[in-house]
């Protein structure tokens, strides 16, 4: 099996021909438009569309533009949801484990964050799900709205330090409100090196929350 | 709204050609009925209904933008029961 290049009147037609030739379905290939067509008058001066269709199993990781693909998926979702916004693609972290981040900017985006970030979480979940199904491997794309996550994480770190101080001075443990895994992780990491408290996740599913407890010298809860 | 659900469903099932979304008028908005190939039902519901929930969340935003209400029903082909 190998990649094929096909020219036809429309992108759709070219892809259909390529898929028939490969005997594969749309979800098993990557399509790259090599030349955009041009519709001429009565077929005069028109140019055909040329596409390159590659079976996914032939793609190595470097060949797949995961960021571009994720940006496209998010733009489609926003457009279909009736939200006018622009998406900026960025990378965070070192080269070894760079995280793809998509930041949404536009007007009136409070609706996109939703109650306790619920809408934003759904968007991120669906983008990752669609990309993972397409690539047949897991991806971890972060979707943010105008730096909302960044600000939320910063306020969680502040909360963690304040609560840890309180536990230390009163000697009584504190339980925070329930949070998604990504937010609990921020708090665990923030207090990981504290000599006075330890953190534990308690509860199940969506009710899972963090408890901050005093610790002894061995790092065991008191 | 119909296009939103269609797009998501077609992007995550094994048989996108069998995805059908029907829009039915309801008292205060619309009901979207999503039907997929029987073996794809789990793919649009997800573990503990997580995928269905994410679709409903985006659908609600879409409906608010249009000043209406929309509910999503996933039709299970084999039993005809709504999930």
* CATH number, domain with residue B24: 3.30.300.20
Nearest by CB to A130, which of B4, B12, B64? B12
Number of structural domains (chain B) is 1
Residue with token string 């094929």: A4
Examine residue B65 and state whether it is found in any structural domain, yes or no. Answer: yes
d(CA A102, CA A61): 20
The interface pTM score, or ipTM, of the predicted complex is 0.90
Percent of chain A with pLDDT over 90: 41
Examine residue B42 and state whether it is found in any structural domain, yes or no. Answer: yes
Interchain CB distance below 8 Å, B57 and A133? no
- Partners of residue B16 in chain A, C-beta under 8 Å: 26-27
- Partners of residue B40 in chain A, C-beta under 8 Å: none
Domain extent at residue B45? 2-77
- Of A148, A151, A139, nearest to A97 (Cα)? A139
pLDDT at A137: 76
Examine residue B59 and state whether it is found in any structural domain, yes or no. Answer: yes
**Section A185-207 average pLDDT:** 92
Examine residue B26 and state whether it is found in any structural domain, yes or no. Answer: yes
**Section B30-50 average pLDDT:** 94
Contacts of A206 (CB under 8 A, 6+ apart): A178
Reply yes or no on whether the pLDDT at A61 is more than 60.
no
Reply yes or no on whether the pLDDT at A59 is more than 80.
no
- Render pLDDT for A132-180 as a digit per residue (tens, 0 to 9): 888 877 778 889 988 888 888 899 999 999 999 999 999 999 999 998 8
Interchain CB distance below 8 Å, A111 and B12? no
Examine residue B20 and state whether it is found in any structural domain, yes or no. Answer: yes
Reply yes or no on whether the pLDDT at B78 is more than 60.
no
pLDDT at A29: 85
Interchain CB distance below 8 Å, A77 and B58? yes
pTM reported for the whole predicted model: 0.66
pLDDT at A182: 81
User: Is the separation of the CB atoms in A109 and A146 below 8 Å?
Assistant: yes
Examine residue B33 and state whether it is found in any structural domain, yes or no. Answer: yes
pLDDT at A95: 53
Examine residue B54 and state whether it is found in any structural domain, yes or no. Answer: yes
**Structure-model confidence comparison of residues A110 and B65, the more confident one:** B65
**Section B50-75 average pLDDT:** 94
Neighbours of A118 (CB within 10 A): 15
d(CA A182, CA A189): 11
- Partners of residue B55 in chain A, C-beta under 8 Å: 122, 126
């Amino acid at each position: 099996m190998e990649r094929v290049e096909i020219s036809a009147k429309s992108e759709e037609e070219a892809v259909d021909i390529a898929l028939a030739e490969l005997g594969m379905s749309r979800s098993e290939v990557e399509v790259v438009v090599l030349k955009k067509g041009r519709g001429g008058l009565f077929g005069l001066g028109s140019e055909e569309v040329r596409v390159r269709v590659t079976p996914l199993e032939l793609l190595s990781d470097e060949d797949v533009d995961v960021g571009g693909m994720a940006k496209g998926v998010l733009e489609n979702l926003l457009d279909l949801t009736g939200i006018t916004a622009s998406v900026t693609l960025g990378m965070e972290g070192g080269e070894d484990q760079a995280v793809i981040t998509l930041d949404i900017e536009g007007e009136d985006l409070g609706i996109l964050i939703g109650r306790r970030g619920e809408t934003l979480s759904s968007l991120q979940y669906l983008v990752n799900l669609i990309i993972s199904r397409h690539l047949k491997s897991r991806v971890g794309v972060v979707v943010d709205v105008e730096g909302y996550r960044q600000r939320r994480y910063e306020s969680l770190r502040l909360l963690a330090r304040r609560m840890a101080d309180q536990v230390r001075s009163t000697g009584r443990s504190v339980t925070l409100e329930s949070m998604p895994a990504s937010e609990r992780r921020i708090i665990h990491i923030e207090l990981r090196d504290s000599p006075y408290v330890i953190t534990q996740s308690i509860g199940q599913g969506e009710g899972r929350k963090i408890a901050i407890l005093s610790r002894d010298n061995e790092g065991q809860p008191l | 709204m119909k296009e939103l659900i269609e797009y998501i469903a077609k992007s995550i099932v094994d048989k996108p050609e069998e995805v059908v979304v029907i829009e039915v008028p309801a008292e205060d908005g619309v009901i979207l009925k999503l039907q997929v190939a029987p073996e794809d039902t789990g793919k649009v519901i997800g573990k503990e209904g997580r995928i269905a929930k994410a679709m409903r969340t985006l659908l609600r935003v879409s409906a608010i933008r249009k000043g209406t209400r929309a509910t999503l029903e996933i039709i299970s082909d084999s039993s005809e029961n709504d999930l």
